[in-house]
Amino acid sequence: MRVLFYNWVSPFDPEGRGGGVAAYERALVPALSGAGIEAGWLNSGLAQDLRPGPPRWERCAPGQFRLVNARPFAPSHLSFGDPEQISHPPTEAAFAAFLRATGPWDVIHFNNLEGLPARALQIARAHGARLVVMLHNYYPLCPQVNLWFQERESCASDQGGAACGSCLAHPPAPRRRLSLALATALLERGGPGGLRLYRRGTGLWRALRARRSRPGPGGLAALPASAPPALQGRRALMIRLLNENADAILCVSERVRKLSEGFGLRGDLLKTCRIGTPEAARPPAPPRPLLDASGRLTLAYVGYMRRDKGFFFLLDALEQLPADLAARVSLVLAARLSDPALRPRLQALRARLAGLSWANGYQREDLDRILAPAGLGVVPVLWEDNLPQVALEMHLRGLALLTSDRGGAQEPGNCPALVFPAGDIAAFHSRLRAVLQGQITRADYGQGGAAPADMPSHLRVLMQHWQPAEKQPEVALASGGLKAKTPPLP
């Protein structure tokens, strides 16, 4: 079987761009090889020539390909509101030429649509391969990819694109093509070292630009009220192209499946297919008690100091925690400082709680040590986070998870008692009080939950979706409670 994977960035990118999707693709490589599957990896939307030219495809390494000079730019923020997100005939022609030259492919598996015009789905369909799209984010539904309006609230409706037109606090920078072209040239001629210097310089420029345009006390800076024409009906067009061309649309959590169907994607195409992780193959970690021997609770927050991730909600909630609860609650924090102004806040919170330990950034290999004191992980996301990697990392270490009701983080534990309405401080406090009073115990967590699969098991599920319906084999996966399905991470 020959399977072509598409993402806007290569999983072998020397800069390590692409976040969780690229890491997922890298983890999939050994499983694909072990199953005898010939995999190809295509990326688009990043590589640009210094001198503008027509889009073309090129081979980067055995089995690795890219489109150069393609539109739209990637990631999505760089092409926000651009009509090329729907159609760009020169890029579509280059994609078709690539498929003719490297095919036939049995399956074309899109781990993303960023960096390609959505009409590339029609070209992939015409190639004759089985067409599978996996929703790691909400790009077809949201040009910001995360259904997060004006950096402050979850977005339930794009209002036909009008809401999108006033969404961004900071519009895409000018000269995007030139910026990408310089980055491409520096990487090819100077290697990652020269490119890192360039990134630091442009990062500083962006930070200064953002600070100058930072909203004042009254709220967000004034934004254009009218939507660019490309945003009018963008979601409806994306949904139509997916519904008409995809053979299967895979959702990385059940929450994503339900949301996608609600937005109009065909229910018969949508299938829940949670990503696998190599760490799930390790011996099971014992479930950790929620409270320590003295009856105290240690919470753990891992990830980013960002509003959409719920970090500032968590700070607000812990600062407002009643004194009798605060005296019995500690916090383990693993997140890089995003703003020096937060440091005094964290120092004040340390004095208020029973304890606070902070890792200012972390590597995955540090997590065992960092999370050793914790009894309950917290994933308080305010946006519909598809399936947060940090939730899997804590779950696989034997921690129960206290989560908001948004996104897929609640699914590994399947414990409604440890789920609270997103952004509801009073409900968050009530869950903590119930844990401290013994009304919620470790035994309540994980019964029938969706524990992560290892990569070979995940690949077997993928192969079901890669086969036409009449050929799909039955794949038996292990089931059961948390004790049998909570292997540790290294």
- Delimit the domains of the chain by residue range: 2-194+223-272, 281-444
Tens of pLDDT along 437-476?
999 999 999 888 888 899 999 999 999 999 986 555 444 3
Number of other CB atoms surrounding residue 156 within 10 Å: 13
Tens of pLDDT along 148-185?
999 899 998 888 888 898 898 777 777 889 989 998 88
Chain-wide mean pLDDT for the chain? 88
Report pLDDT for 200. 54
Counting residues of the chain whose pLDDT is more than 70, the rounded percentage is 88
3-state SS, residue 121? helix
Task: Determine the Cα–Cα distance for residues 132 and 246; give it in Å rounded to an integer.
Answer: 6
Report pLDDT for 447. 86
Report pLDDT for 195. 55
Indicate if the pLDDT at residue 10 is higher than 50: yes
Report pLDDT for 484. 29
Counting residues of the chain whose pLDDT is more than 90, the rounded percentage is 73
* Confidence band, pLDDT 50/70/90 cuts, at residue 194: low
Average pLDDT over residues 70-81: 94
- Same CATH topology for 2-194+223-272 and 281-444: the answer is yes
Report pLDDT for 166. 87
Report pLDDT for 284. 84
Instruction: Identify whether the C-beta of residue 14 lies closer than 8 Å to the C-beta of residue 46.
Output: no
The structure's pTM equals: 0.87
Report pLDDT for 487. 28
Superfamily of domain 281-444: Glycogen Phosphorylase B; (3.40.50.2000)
Tens of pLDDT along 122-147?
999 999 999 999 999 999 999 999 99
CB-based contacts of 369: which residues, under 8 Å, 6+ apart? none
Render 144-196 in DSSP notation, one character per residue.
TSS-EETTTEE-S--GGGHHHHTT-SSPPPS-HHHHHHHHHHHHHHHHHHHHH
* Confidence band, pLDDT 50/70/90 cuts, at residue 490: very low
Report pLDDT for 336. 94
Report pLDDT for 196. 57
Tens of pLDDT along 87-129?
999 999 999 999 999 999 999 999 999 999 999 999 999 999 9
What are the strands, taking DSSP E only, across 360-468?
A: 376-379, 400-404, 419-420
Which CATH topology does 2-194+223-272 take? Rossmann fold (3.40.50)
Number of other CB atoms surrounding residue 296 within 10 Å: 16
